[in-house]
Structure 1
């Protein structure tokens, strides 16, 4: 009986021990609280018993924060209809507990189901960075500057976070998913682009026509100059010499009869 009780005791203790365990996975840290008081030393990945303490497993991997439906103003004071941007951020593993203590309540679940610290804090600073970045460009040109806006937001956000909480957050990058101005302005931009295209095409055709006309003019001038030189060189004697050479050529072939007249008569050529 005592042996059975011992086995049951060991079994219950083991079950109790396993049921009171939690594990910190890779890419996460643990923040423990004992009797409601949070400890400032983060726990590395591994298994931990949570019978006598509360353990929060917090992600320190890259987290994407979507910011949709923003309406910043452009350089020419036009309010954007829709701006959608993704911010990617990470928190330094050794700063999680301290940050959680300072940003009380800023603990949320991300799209992957992980607990993250500071998402709302990063969002507030990101919105300011977005408004500053879009204010650098005119509404008619802003759609051409997605990469520049993303780089500006990343740089400005990192600078802002470092100023208030140095060495805590890292911003790996930003993605601009959508930049939409007012629909009427979008139509105007498309029409202006079409007009510019047609103008450039017409200018190209004009330049081509001018080039072709210039080539024809150069050729015509060359032909006229050649004819002038030839005309000046055709003396009566040279013309007569050329006539005789032609007549001799016909006669030499044996297929023609050539009659040579006197100086005032025209030659008669009979072709057999």
Structure 2
């Protein structure tokens, strides 16, 4: 007959197993906040790597490092008053781990976003701040110049978001590390007009070349015509010298005039 098992040991083992099962581990890049059985949020943050029991109460996790916000399908107005066909960007921000509890408790819940069980603090707020900054920055550039000024726009948008955070006294809680402009597409009508302008300019340049070529040819012909008298005088002088040489008997060669037509009707 086996030795009796003590009830206390069994209960301790069951509790230990239950504690291991009913717990939440805070992953790297996250911060946790405990909610008590009375639905009240405990002060202080649960740090990455810690295991936190959820038998009594629950634990919320918040990604706080390098959160990416996609700001897509925007149609800002350009400096030339044309509406962009598409403008997409991405903003990367981080949350100060020590500000997690305060942001979650004190800020409007509509500022946050939830995905796959995680709560992204101030995600919607940063998204809206980024949209406002992009619409403001885009107004400084013509539609066809935006792509060439992509880095300037990224820098301006980042500065505008940081300024907004500072005005709301959130600059110590939220850090914007990067803004990337991913897509800039002018309106189809603007692109068509630009292509037509390029075509017209190319045609104009071609006509300029043709005009210059015709002008040079006209100058060449004019130069030849202006020297016609001198050419005829030189030819006459040459003929006279030949005639004198023949008359003096110094030339035994028969000279045929350049306009000699041959001997006709010789009998």
User: Is TM > 0.5 for Structure 1 vs Structure 2?
Assistant: yes
The answer to whether structure 1 residue 191 and structure 2 residue 196 are counterparts is: yes
What is the distance in 2 between the residues matched to 1:63 and 1:162? 19
Matches within 5 A, 1:196-215: 196=201
Gap change, CA 1:134 and 1:116, over 3 Å in 2: same
Query: Is this contact kept in 1: 2:130–2:157, CA < 8 A?
Result: yes
**Equivalent of 2:48 in 26, 45, 48:** 45
- Give the aligned partner of residue 56 of structure 1: 60
Gap change, CA 1:78 and 1:114, over 3 Å in 2: same
The answer to whether structure 1 residue 150 and structure 2 residue 150 are counterparts is: no
| Offset at residue 209 of structure 1 (A) | 7.0
Query: Is this contact kept in 2: 1:162–1:169, CA < 8 A?
Result: no
Query: Is this contact kept in 1: 2:60–2:118, CA < 8 A?
Result: no
Aligned to 2:90, the other structure's residue is in SS state: strand
CA deviation string 1:213-272 (max 9, x = no partner): 7xxx9xx9xxxxxxxxxxxxxxxxxxxxxxxxxxxxxxxxxxxxxxxxxx943489xxxx
What is the distance in 2 between the residues matched to 1:153 and 1:194? 35
Query: Is this contact kept in 2: 1:72–1:79, CA < 8 A?
Result: yes
- Give the aligned partner of residue 265 of structure 1: 250
The answer to whether structure 1 residue 107 and structure 2 residue 109 are counterparts is: no
**Equivalent of 1:136 in 121, 137, 140:** 140
| Offset at residue 185 of structure 1 (A) | 1.8
Structure 1: runs of 5+ lacking an equivalent: 221-262
Q: Which has the higher contact order (CA 8 A, sep 6+)?
A: 2
| Offset at residue 197 of structure 1 (A) | 5.1
Q: CA RMSD, aligned part only?
A: 3.7
Structure 2: runs of 5+ lacking an equivalent: 224-247, 254-267
TM-score normalised to structure 2 length: 0.71
What is the distance in 1 between the residues matched to 2:24 and 2:63? 15
Query: Is this contact kept in 1: 2:82–2:190, CA < 8 A?
Result: no
Aligned to 1:56, the other structure's residue is in SS state: strand
Matches within 5 A, 1:1-272: 2-34=4-36, 35-46=38-49, 47-105=51-109, 106-110=111-115, 114-164=118-168, 165-196=170-201, 264-266=249-251
| Offset at residue 201 of structure 1 (A) | 7.1
TM-score normalised to structure 1 length: 0.69
